[in-house]
Structure 1
């Protein structure tokens, strides 16, 4: 099942080039009052929601996908957990390019661990990346994003994949400089998730997915998730050994080699096999 959030916080079921407006299915979600939950209520209740979507989809209004402004499919991620230099060739390029490392030590992911991105940086495919520091280099990074479906606390490798609700395509936008990763990658609009959320059963084995990104039609990044240094299951084990993962938390699994600069006026096209494809515009502040 492919679910999108579009327009004025509408819920859509994506089928081909159409979107069925199944916003009415949100009525099955529990009501919340302050203090609000620290997780995404839709993802936490996905089985119940999916059943309701199936019941009403046949009679739901139909829209054309290209006419829908797509928002982030995960509206209330409690955390965005990111994996740095998780492709060997990207580690090599980061170490060799002064514009990437800025005299920082670029160590293996096993040594530096994971980092967090501010949830305020998250947008959807129909929104725009806004360059906040035009005097500094800002780069694109394509990543597979795994969305946690149930609470994960110190899970084993055998349990890990059972905690994934589904996947999105992710763009981890980065301003280069000497500061810590979390600061440089948490700028507003610098985490793009989309174009929709696709349930794990439709993706199947996420360890053999092709990733590809172009800027203004120019090929930049092309790789396969089989080349991850730490695989998806082990990333969940790693993360959940330090903090509890909750429904709707997002794990950005890392970017391959080929990262490069973007500027206002650019158009990024990104795709991941079985997950989806999206086009995102870049503009100035």
Structure 2
């Protein structure tokens, strides 16, 4: 299934050119909180097993007329995988990779959905796009073996890990509001039995920036889940951004970012620089 949030928090199944509203069938009660109806369904599935709704007779909305939202507006955790492609390691001239650095956390308040805008924070510091495959956890994972890791996956989505190249800590530079676009939906794991062979492409301003296949990940999805679950327990609804390939580059006001991942979907957002300020004017700066 492809599961999406749309039209102010409704839960839908993508069926051809339509969204079938399954909010009552899958989200149940009580009413979903800030984490959203899809997060609630993922947690229910973890407890009670998957429920696939019969779509006949349910309300439909043409996909072209629906307002898609971030499928997980407030994940429990967003976990990033730094330097997880060798070509990105080379382009950034890093001497280390994920094997040395481990993982990092992004603020859940940085999530936005399809069609929204990334807000550039600084007018004089480069802010880059990083297109990545996102893994959505479906079952609690604690010290999971790589051989069993995919059993803990609910599904996959597109993630943009936006990053400002400033002097702040990695988690800060990646946690500004709007810095984690997610969507347009989550594709359940049964539709992607092998996440290690997906083509990924990211365009900015109509030009190709990034093109890769997830086969080139240093830590693949299995290894990422195994390693991360040895550090922190993963819960249903957590999101792992698996890392970005070479081709990161500066964003400018008015750009459109399009991330397309084979069998997963196409995520498109804008870029707004009208509120950017000089780095030296950021709150909390101290004079030398």
Tell me the TM-score normalized by structure 2. Answer: 0.88
Partner secondary structure for residue 99 of structure 2:
helix
The whole-number CA distance in structure 2 between the counterparts of 1:210 and 1:81 is 22
Q: Is the 8 A contact 1:168 1:194 kept in 2?
A: yes
Summarize the alignment of residues 24-39 of structure 1 with structure 2, pairs less than 5 Å apart. Answer: 24-29=24-29
Partner secondary structure for residue 92 of structure 2:
helix
Q: Is the 8 A contact 1:71 1:124 kept in 2?
A: yes
The whole-number CA distance in structure 1 between the counterparts of 2:251 and 2:66 is 25
**1:147 Cα deviation from its structure 2 partner:** 0.3
Partner secondary structure for residue 83 of structure 2:
coil
The whole-number CA distance in structure 1 between the counterparts of 2:27 and 2:61 is 21
The whole-number CA distance in structure 2 between the counterparts of 1:66 and 1:176 is 36
**1:67 Cα deviation from its structure 2 partner:** 2.1
Tell me the TM-score normalized by structure 1. Answer: 0.89
**1:219 Cα deviation from its structure 2 partner:** 0.7
How many residues are paired up? 270
The whole-number CA distance in structure 2 between the counterparts of 1:185 and 1:124 is 16
Q: Is the 8 A contact 1:82 1:115 kept in 2?
A: yes
Q: Find 1:176's aligned residue among 165, 184, 193.
A: 165
The whole-number CA distance in structure 1 between the counterparts of 2:244 and 2:16 is 28
Query: Partner of 1:151 in structure 2?
Result: 140
Please tell me whether residue 196 in structure 1 is matched to residue 223 in structure 2: no
Query: Partner of 2:228 in structure 1?
Result: 239
Query: Partner of 1:4 in structure 2?
Result: 4
**1:278 Cα deviation from its structure 2 partner:** 2.1
The whole-number CA distance in structure 1 between the counterparts of 2:96 and 2:89 is 8
Q: 1:49 to 1:65 in 2, by over 3 A?
A: farther
Q: Is the 8 A contact 2:128 2:251 kept in 1?
A: yes
The whole-number CA distance in structure 2 between the counterparts of 1:84 and 1:46 is 30
Q: Find 2:175's aligned residue among 182, 186, 211.
A: 186
What's the Cα RMSD here?
Answer: 2.1
Q: 1:66 to 1:92 in 2, by over 3 A?
A: same
The whole-number CA distance in structure 2 between the counterparts of 1:69 and 1:94 is 37
The whole-number CA distance in structure 2 between the counterparts of 1:49 and 1:75 is 23
The whole-number CA distance in structure 2 between the counterparts of 1:273 and 1:149 is 21
Q: Is the 8 A contact 2:133 2:157 kept in 1?
A: yes
Q: Is the 8 A contact 1:69 1:127 kept in 2?
A: no
Query: Partner of 1:211 in structure 2?
Result: 200
Q: Is the 8 A contact 1:138 1:262 kept in 2?
A: yes
Q: Is the 8 A contact 2:200 2:212 kept in 1?
A: yes
**1:62 Cα deviation from its structure 2 partner:** 1.8
Q: Find 2:238's aligned residue among 249, 261, 284.
A: 249
**1:142 Cα deviation from its structure 2 partner:** 0.4
Q: Is the 8 A contact 1:267 1:281 kept in 2?
A: yes
Summarize the alignment of residues 69-88 of structure 1 with structure 2, pairs less than 5 Å apart. Answer: 69-88=67-86
Q: Is the 8 A contact 2:137 2:234 kept in 1?
A: yes
Q: 1:121 to 1:49 in 2, by over 3 A?
A: farther
Partner secondary structure for residue 54 of structure 1:
coil
Partner secondary structure for residue 53 of structure 2:
helix
The whole-number CA distance in structure 2 between the counterparts of 1:43 and 1:5 is 13
Q: Is the 8 A contact 1:94 1:106 kept in 2?
A: no
**1:265 Cα deviation from its structure 2 partner:** 0.7
Q: Which structure 2 residue ranges, 5 or more long, are not aligned?
A: 276-288
